[in-house]
Amino acid sequence: MLYDLTSLLRDRGADVVGGFLARGELHHPAPCLIGRFPNHPDGEDLARARRFAAAIAEHVSCRRPGPAAESRVDAFHPDGRLYDVVARISSDRFLRLVMPEPELDSARCDQCQWCVRECPMHNIALQPYPVLGSHCIRCYRCLTGCPRKALDASWTIGNLAALAFYNTVFERRFGDLRPEEQLY
């Protein structure tokens, strides 16, 4: 993921000097992802972030060439880590195929238009109830944020797909989970 962002920035003429990966407790609605990395970011995560920020500030102020200290190596080129592999196969078409589309329970919906305003793709219209258009990116903002909990999803296939990529074995194999880290 860092590499994808680095590539986009470099294509636009930016000089990328670093990249950082932070942990945070997951609140994605897929059942297999809920609660991963509990109590993160923790003190060590925040200390690493401060060290990275200080290294970037020093690097830029001294006008040093190349990558800054404290940067992840994979910010500059893919190295086969889990997120690089997932990014390569997680096309929009693939995500739409395996991840469920939010479904409305009209009995719970009070037509407040929260989902219409909050959809990052402007993909929801009130007709008179919310209807998702064809550009849903499966971010689940509507599902997780609806004040009336009027949207839900069937996670049978999507949960299996998420679990196939985001499991302890893969995370450790690709180096994104340190030996002392726990997913839950």
- 67 and 132 fall within a common domain: no
Asked whether residue 48 is assigned to any structural domain, the reply reads yes
- 13 and 84 fall within a common domain: yes
Residues in the chain: 184
- Is the pLDDT confidence value at 1 over 60? no
Higher pLDDT residue, 85 or 121?
Answer: 121
16 vs 61, 81, 85, CA distance in Å? 14, 20, 22
pLDDT of residue 107: 97
Long-range CB contacts for residues 87-93, cutoff 8 Å, separation at least 24: 87/1, 87/3, 87/4, 92/137
pTM score, whole prediction:
0.71
Quote the domain boundaries for residue 28: 2-95+158-173
- For 10-42, the pLDDT digits (tens) are 889 888 888 888 888 988 999 999 998 899 999
- For 36-85, the pLDDT digits (tens) are 889 999 999 999 999 999 999 999 999 888 888 888 776 676 666 666 66
- For 91-107, the pLDDT digits (tens) are 777 888 889 999 999 99
- 72 and 145 fall within a common domain: no
Higher pLDDT residue, 88 or 25?
Answer: 25
Sequence-distant (6+) residues with CB within 8 A of 163 are: 32
Closest CA to 75 of 120, 19, 140, 123: 19
If 0-12 CB within 10 Å is exposed, 13-18 middle and 19+ buried, where does residue 143 land?
buried
pLDDT of residue 3: 63
- For 123-181, the pLDDT digits (tens) are 999 999 999 999 998 999 999 999 999 999 999 999 998 888 778 877 777 666 777 77
Output the domain CATH number for residue 117.
3.30.70.20
Asked whether residue 184 is assigned to any structural domain, the reply reads no
